[in-house]
Structure 1
Amino acid sequence: MSQKKETTVLVLSLIITLAAVSAGFWWLTNNSGIKLGNLFKTDSSISEPNKDKSVEDRISLGDKILISGISSPPKQAGVEAIASKNYQSAIANFQAAIKVNRNDPEALIFLNNARIENKKSYTIAVLVPIGSDVNSSLEMLRGVAQAQNEINSSGGVKGVSLKVAIANDENNPEIAKKIATTLVQNSEVLGVVGAYASDVTLAAGSVFQSGQLVAISPTSTSVKLSSFGSYIFRTVPSDYVAARALANYMVTKLKQQNVAVFFNSKSSYSQSLKSEFVTAVSLSGGQVKSEFDLSQPNFSAAKSIEQATKQQVKVLMLASNTDTLDKALQVVQINRKQLALLAGDDAYTPKTLEVGGESAVGMVVAVPWHIDAQPNSVFARTSRSLWDGATVNWRTALAYDATEALIKAIERNPTRTGIQQALSSPDFSPTGASGSIGFLASGDRNSSVQLVKIVPGNRSGTGYDFVPVP
């Protein structure tokens, strides 16, 4: 091709690309919803590629849909109505949206917010990684939505309804810090549920701590969060607890001593679980023969298993995080049940069941809670009714507990300082989905973990299920 033709092609390609980008921007701008006043107005913006939304566009009380994948015409009509303060129309449309999709927690939260209208309310926020992990976001939001729905349906917190703001931090520490700054600056926000990943909670937590705004994470397990700050709590046990449960299972139940660990050196959660597991194995008399970093570009599942086998390893421990779960599942597939498998709670996903399949049968995973351990609890029965018979998992249960903890603390003293003092009180012990909710001086919850095993089954729809280990 001649130089002139090459130039022409490049110019045409550039024009087409610019047109496509412009069209995409127009669509995003015209489908992101209508802003709700200036409750979360901010000039902050995110400079990273594909993350140029303002913080205001990442927070919604019902004025914009954040989870576009479960939108519907009545839901869109609902956000437009609530933004224009036409609350009765908003209520009717969100009710219609829930009939379209019974399992949409965003619509239920917006419905409860619309019912409050302009009356006095207490506001909390929930940080979820919608942009990077929609499924986990939905799981967390179902717990928050259930708790909000229950308290508002029963008359509110001493007669005052609870309002919930949803914030999408995309599992990005920098975005989470900007959102945290906005929440701290808004005096109406009394507490926060979140964030999801440990790295994000650590980043946002520094802002919440300095701004004296309580944050309770239902899912961040890194030991770095223990005693991180007097305003930082969590309803999930730390990796210290999970690691010891897995190490004990390996030594006492599997009767094995030698193990290889797969982890992500770039993840605080993964590093934490790996380190705690290594220590726990050593204290139990076992030995970690190899450590394989899943984040390395030259990582090979086949070569890693080959090396582990030569070292007389009998157990593989998967301490992967969300970003490296695919590589961990490669290990599962190539292993083909030759060596026993253990894993941290990040592996508790439908993807593990679907991709791992028969090769994942027998894998033991440490999670904070499983519905089959308390199938007849009030929370379990209510959740099945609320979410169209669906079986919720530990992320939903512990997000519910985090919200319940904030509700009970607000009930004692509806101020930021009062909430922190209530949560820190030795006599604070409300009942949640997974039992009594009480916090140690470190901000950690005083609770244990539940070991579950992958077995053939029909409940998940993948042909395999997680069930409690007896």
Structure 2
Amino acid sequence: MSQSKNETVVLVLALLLTLGLVGAGIWWFSQLSQGNRGGTTTSNDRSLSERISVGEKSLLSGANAAKQQGIEAISKGDYAQAIRSLQTSLQSQKNDPEALIYLNNARIGTGKSYTIAASLPIGSDPNGALEILRGIAQAQDKVASAGGINGVKLKIAIANDDNNPQVAEQVAAALVKDPTILGVVGPYASDVTLAAGSVYNSGQLVAISPISTSVKLSGFSPYIFRTVPSDYVAARALANYMTSNLQKTHAAVFFNSQSGYSQSLKSEFVTAVSLGGGQVEAEFDLSDPGFSAARSVKQASDRGADILMLATNTGELDKALQVVQVNNKRLQILAGDDVYAPKTLEVGGGAAVGMIVAVPWHIDANSNSEFVRQSRQLWIGDVNWRTALAYDATVALIAAIQRSPTRTGVQQALRSPEFTAPGAAGNIRFLPSGDRNAPVQLVQIVPGKRSGTGYDFVPLR
């Protein structure tokens, strides 16, 4: 056989081998894909089951040995052991709301209960999730001490939605599918609540957000409520302080065009300033890849701005704090509630002194309330507005369940003009839009020792 024929045979054999391997690969991939598509017991469902817990798993990191033993006991149905272990855990970690919720759930065991869920940003903002959980846990603990809701104990299911719209939709679908869930506290960000809210609306399950402030949520759904005032209220409070108290009329706004909350607060502030006789001279998008704090502050000053307004969301807080540092107290700064964070005090430091921030609630303005007294006893420290308004959202659901312990009954109770419940931030009432009719509190950054950073947020009187 000639060399050319030998080469031809080799090439043919190689081609056949390649085709065989490719065919096997295609068959394997198609089988895998069919397995992933075929039915409801997929990896996605397993992932969802890992995101929701009433005590059989910890969704937060850092569980101590006693807490882990308690969780394992719950998963085995050994509630007596779970109670002992979780009580031991709380003796060493008193401010752990997940452990307290699981303890109260374990005390219910297999007994009759009403269940509500919390949809939280555990994966993306564990500190924010803990702040919210403390309010929910405090409300559950209070109703447990009172003997339940008309004698029936309250169980809490905790869900991690990562503060992600797509994940929150999946979590919402799972909660809607569970007939024992009578209401939801959450979600967190406005964009996430808008996404998940469509699912809650179609599933006719009430969700009360303690955090979402976007004006797009006003009247969004008869099943979506919130215990936090909308951006309309916060923007007008800041704009009024600017024009009336500071006697300033020219502002520059820093915002994130990729955040519904940030866009909402920015738009409401621009409108409010205009109505008050002022003008916004410049707008700067913090999400712009070419954003420069130094250049933006200079441009704002060159255009005549005498106020800098930080309408940022948490995701762009670092860039907003660059603005604070570059400005270094030259121009007065106003800000929305996402700027109310320990990082602002730590990073902003002396450059942030004098900044005015609009928040829904502040502990120093409510220091004599029952909620504050109980929270300090329970968590061995002060709580912030996120905890207070999560408490209020839970209290609202408890009051609605007390009236009528069905999904329909809860929704009708909350929408009733006569509905009211005593909360941390005053009486809880909802407008027909689902909004809470409540003011905001303006706070100022001053030198202080309470936070441990050398600076504190204190209420403006």
TM-score normalised by structure 2 residue count: 0.91
Structure 1 residue 99 displacement after superposition: 1.2
- Tell me how many residue pairs correspond in the alignment: 422
* 2:234 aligns with one of 237, 242, 260: 242
Hey, what does 1:437 align to over in structure 2?
A: 428
Note if 1:223 corresponds to 2:215: yes
* 2:315 aligns with one of 323, 328, 346: 323
- The answer (yes or no) to whether the contact 1:157–1:407 under 8 Å persists in 2 is yes
Alignment of 1:58-97 (within 5 A): 58-69=51-62, 71-97=63-89
**Partner amino acid for 2:296?**
S
Alignment of 1:245-264 (within 5 A): 245-264=237-256
Hey, what does 2:452 align to over in structure 1?
A: 461
Structure 1 residue 221 displacement after superposition: 0.1
Looking at structure 1, the residues matched to 127 and 332 of structure 2 have their Cα atoms a distance apart, in angstroms, of 28
**Shift in alpha-carbon separation, 1:338–1:44, aligned structure 2, 3 A:** farther
Residue-by-residue CA offset, 1:169-228 (whole Å, 9 max, x unaligned): 111000000000000000000000000100110111000000000000000000000000
Structure 1 residue 254 displacement after superposition: 1.0
**Partner amino acid for 2:397?**
L
Looking at structure 1, the residues matched to 345 and 91 of structure 2 have their Cα atoms a distance apart, in angstroms, of 29
Looking at structure 1, the residues matched to 194 and 454 of structure 2 have their Cα atoms a distance apart, in angstroms, of 37
Structure 1 residue 253 displacement after superposition: 1.0
**Partner amino acid for 1:461?**
G
Structure 1 residue 445 displacement after superposition: 0.3
Residue-by-residue CA offset, 1:138-164 (whole Å, 9 max, x unaligned): 100000000000001110000000000
Hey, what does 1:139 align to over in structure 2?
A: 131
Structure 1 residue 45 displacement after superposition: 5.3
- The answer (yes or no) to whether the contact 1:259–1:313 under 8 Å persists in 2 is yes
* 1:355 aligns with one of 335, 347, 351: 347
- The answer (yes or no) to whether the contact 1:198–1:269 under 8 Å persists in 2 is yes
Structure 1 residue 44 displacement after superposition: 6.1
Determine helix, strand or coil for the equivalent of 2:47: coil
Residue-by-residue CA offset, 1:236-272 (whole Å, 9 max, x unaligned): 0000000000000001111101100000001000000
Structure 1 residue 43 displacement after superposition: 3.8
Note if 1:189 corresponds to 2:181: yes
- What is the RMSD of the two structures over their aligned residues, measured on CA atoms? 1.0
Hey, what does 2:327 align to over in structure 1?
A: 335
Note if 1:402 corresponds to 2:393: yes
- The answer (yes or no) to whether the contact 1:353–1:465 under 8 Å persists in 2 is yes
Stretch moving more, 93-102 or 52-61: 52-61
Residue-by-residue CA offset, 1:385-434 (whole Å, 9 max, x unaligned): 0001x110100000000000000000000000000000001110111001
Looking at structure 2, the residues matched to 100 and 44 of structure 1 have their Cα atoms a distance apart, in angstroms, of 39
**Partner amino acid for 1:419?**
V
Structure 1 stretches of 4+ moved >4 Å: none
Structure index of larger Rg: 2
Q: Could you tell me which runs of 5 or more consecutive residues in structure 1 were left unpaired when the two chains were aligned.
A: 1-41, 47-51
Hey, what does 2:50 align to over in structure 1?
A: 57
Percent pairwise identity: 67
**Shift in alpha-carbon separation, 1:395–1:44, aligned structure 2, 3 A:** farther
Hey, what does 1:446 align to over in structure 2?
A: 437
- The answer (yes or no) to whether the contact 1:44–1:178 under 8 Å persists in 2 is no
Looking at structure 2, the residues matched to 100 and 339 of structure 1 have their Cα atoms a distance apart, in angstroms, of 46
Note if 1:411 corresponds to 2:402: yes
**Partner amino acid for 2:390?**
A
Q: Could you tell me which runs of 5 or more consecutive residues in structure 2 were left unpaired when the two chains were aligned.
A: 1-39
Alignment of 1:364-379 (within 5 A): 364-379=356-371
TM-score normalised by structure 1 residue count: 0.89
**Partner amino acid for 1:62?**
G
Hey, what does 2:153 align to over in structure 1?
A: 161
